[in-house]
């Protein structure tokens, strides 16, 4: 009899045997050839694998460590928005998802004059 996971097969004809009752003393009878097979599904087989067992170029690229200093990351872009305080036509902005995913993001604007404001998108 062969066991693959929780499936048990007849040793004589290879037919799939009826569901296991989960004990080693249980005898499973093949519905195809009538052979009696001891239940082996009760013995638990645990297999473990690690990412290195499946080599991948993408995984190798992702596994390289990158160190980024938070103050060096530029999260702002410029746009042609008018500053309500000084009237400049170009300001910096960043978009942040503060509300739930099905709602729009919040846009934070910053002008060179120091004025800051936000708009819900």
Give the residue ranges of the annotated binding site for Zn(2+): 10, 13, 30, 33, 83, 86, 111, 113
Annotated binding-site ranges: 10, 13, 30, 33, 83, 86, 111, 113
Looking up tokens 């990351």, which residue turns up? 73
Strand bridging mode 116-120 / 27-29:
unpaired
Q: Which whole-number Å values give the CA distances from 71 to 5, 46, 84, 91, in the listed order?
A: 52, 47, 28, 20
Q: Which has the closest alpha carbon to 36: 25, 26, 27, 24? A: 27
């Amino acid at each position: 009899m062969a066991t693959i996971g929780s499936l048990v097969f007849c040793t004589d004809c290879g037919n799939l045997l009826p569901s296991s009752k989960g004990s080693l003393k249980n005898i499973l009878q093949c519905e195809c050839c009538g052979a009696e097979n001891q239940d082996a599904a009760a013995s638990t087989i645990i297999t473990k694998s690690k990412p290195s067992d499946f080599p991948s170029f993408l995984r190798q690229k992702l596994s390289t460590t990158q160190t980024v200093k938070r103050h060096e990351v530029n999260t702002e872009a410029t746009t042609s928005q008018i500053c309500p305080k000084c009237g400049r036509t170009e300001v910096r902005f960043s978009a942040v998802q503060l509300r739930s995913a099905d709602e729009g993001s919040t846009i934070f604007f910053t002008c060179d004059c120091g004025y800051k404001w936000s708009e819900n998108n």
